[in-house]
Amino acid sequence: MPSHADFARYRGRHKRRRSEGRRRTRRPQLYRVTDFVVAYLLALAILFATAAVSPMFAFFAYFVIGVFLSRFIGERVDWWIITASIKNVAAVKFHTILTWPVSVPVFVLRVFVAKFF
């Protein structure tokens, strides 16, 4: 099953050229790799805290956290136009929501390797 890293490239921080001017955009500010790691660790902490309170609530929280992480990552990467079909994007997001404890660290590792090596 493909992951976010298979169909996207990381939008790293860059300096704006003076000729670009100031444009307003709905996209959030660009994030560093450490921000993905912090979001993942925060998601795990929330999941463990909800599991300690109520296992039934943790089951619901697992999917809510998966949706949040999928949106968090998806808004901070550029999807390649060639592979950004509805089928591909939906499959990757669905896979990420169901398997986020494994797929998010794999994505972060791939971004880290692509950015620094």
Is the entire prediction scored with pTM above 0.85? no
Integer CA distances (angstroms), 66 to 14, 28, 71, 100, in order: 28, 19, 9, 6
Between CA 51 and CA 47 the distance in angstroms is: 6
Along the chain (117 residues), what's the average pLDDT of each consecutive run of 10 residues?
Answer: 54 54 59 87 96 94 94 81 82 90 92 85
